Copies of this chain bind each other. A is one copy, B any other.
Amino acid sequence: MQVMSNSSDALFRILADPTRRIILDLLAERGPLSVGQLASEFPELVASGISKHLMSLRAGGVVSATRRGRLQIYRLEPDALAAGLAPWIAKYEQYWSAALERLRDLAQEGHGKDKVTPKKNVRRKSLK
C-alpha cells in the first residue's frame, strides 16, 4: 500500500507497464497517432485496454490528446516525461554516462538502430 505519491512516483508506476512504454515509443518514433493506429500495434489486446492505458498516460501528463473528427490524436509530452524523471536520472547521473557511452560506441560501429527519431522537436544537443 503506497503512502507517498510525488510526481516521479506516478511516473515510475506508469513506466512499469511494458505496453505503456511501447505506446510512448510509438508516439516518439512516429509522431501523433490516433487510438486506432496505436491499437493496431497490439493485436493481442482489445481496444478498450489501449484506451485505458492512454488514460493512465494522460493522467500522468506524459501524453495529451486532441480530437480531430471522430479520431482522438494522442501525442507525446516529452517535457512532462523529462521533467518528472530528470531528478531521478540526475541522481545517478555518473552511472549513466559510462553506460551511455558504451551504447554510443556500439551504435557507431553497428547499424544505427534502437533509437527514437521523432518528427519534430529535434533540438539535438546530445547528453555528454
Interface of A with B (CB < 8 Å)?
2-4, 9, 12-13, 15-16, 18, 21, 25, 28, 44, 78-79, 81-83, 85-100, 102-104, 114-116, 121-128
Contact = CB atoms under 8 A, between A and B. Distances in A.
Contacts of A79: 95, 98-99
Contacts of A115: 90-91
| Count of this chain's copies in the oligomeric assembly | 2
Contact of A100 (B9, B16, B18, B90): B90
A7 B81 CA distance: 22
A25 B91 contact: yes
25 contacts: A4-B18, A12-B12, A12-B16, A13-B16, A15-B16, A79-B98, A82-B92, A82-B95, A82-B99, A86-B99, A87-B103, A89-B89, A89-B96, A89-B100, A90-B103, A91-B115, A92-B116, A94-B122, A94-B124, A94-B125, A94-B126, A96-B127, A97-B126, A98-B123, A127-B127
